[in-house]
Amino acid sequence: MSVIEINHPLIEHKMTILRSVDTDTKLFRENLNEIAKLMTYEATKNLKLETTEVTTPLMKTQAYVLQDKVALVPILRAGLGMVDGILDLIPTAKVGHIGVYRNEETLEPVYYYCKLPTDITSRKVILVDPMLATGGSAVYAIDYLKSQGVTDIIFMCLVAAPDGIAKLLNKHPDVPIYTAKIDQGLNDNGYIYPGLGDCGDRIFGTK
Ligand code: URA
């Protein structure tokens, strides 16, 4: 069981832009995708390779290609904000969607949509949601993926609250958590602080 906080000067800089209340929708979207891309470099370090041969202009030589096939699964809606950045690095990944929203009173996850690649059980799944707050949606999404036969999952978020991390590690200790930041906590409305506010609203300009 593992939580990996990815530290990088570029991520630090871009996180400051994301956190700022003065950042507009366009800049927010761009920086979110750029952080997701930088995180993908680190989160895919353990992808399996297979040996092949390539002919350079000079000679044949041993080379490597990815053996693992990847499926990217954003939790709707905020997870969509990370998809383009990740696909920039793994353009062959298939993309599934899981729709779970948070009941604002109970903070419990409410399921409303799911569409996954048909071969998802043979793929390494990168489940993404920018905010790991109570952990309810992530636990729900992983429960669902496992119920469909998926066995190889990593979870990637930008900001994680200690409560959400604890819940996810407790329910799914086999799923590594990659995050750019571990923040201080959750307020009474279930928002991460200092956080960056409602990520979905900031991505889509719905506030
Ligand atoms: N979802 C968000 O968008 N922001 C939070 O702080 C918590 C959950």
Encode pLDDT of 153-175 as tens digits.
Answer: 999 999 999 999 999 999 999 99
- DSSP count for the chain of H helices, then E strands: 6, 13
Give the pLDDT score at 178.
98
Instruction: Find out whether 156 and 133 touch, Cβ atoms under 8 Å.
Output: no
Residue 13 has pLDDT above 90, yes or no: yes
- Confidence band (pLDDT; 50, 70, 90) for 9? very high
- With a CB cutoff of 8 Å and minimum separation 6, the contacts of 171 are 135, 139, 142, 143
- Tell me the CATH number at 182: 3.40.50.2020
> Quick check: is 125 in a domain?
yes
Centre of ligand 1 to C-alpha 78, Å, is 9
> Quick check: is 135 in a domain?
yes
Give the pLDDT score at 98.
97
Give the pLDDT score at 101.
84
Q: How many domains does the chain have?
A: 1
Q: Is 81 in the pocket of ligand 1 (CB under 6 A)?
A: no
> Quick check: is 64 in a domain?
no
- From 192, 201, 204, 206, mutation site for ligand 1 pocket: most ligand atoms within 8 A of C-beta: 192
> Which range marks the domain in which residue 112 is found?
3-46+70-204
Q: Is 201 a catalytic residue?
A: yes
Q: Is 22 a catalytic residue?
A: no
| Ligand-binding site membership of 84 (annotated) | no
> Quick check: is 58 in a domain?
no
Give the pLDDT score at 181.
98
Atom of ligand 1 nearest to the CA of 201: 3
- Confidence band (pLDDT; 50, 70, 90) for 51? very high
Give the pLDDT score at 2.
95
> Quick check: is 124 in a domain?
yes
Residue range 100-146, pLDDT digits in tens = 887 878 878 889 999 999 999 999 999 999 999 999 999 999 999 99
Would the pTM count as exceeding 0.80? yes
State mean pLDDT over 184-207. 96
Q: Is 199 in the pocket of ligand 1 (CB under 6 A)?
A: yes
> Quick check: is 170 in a domain?
yes
> Quick check: is 62 in a domain?
no
Alpha-carbon distance 156 to 141, whole Å? Answer: 13
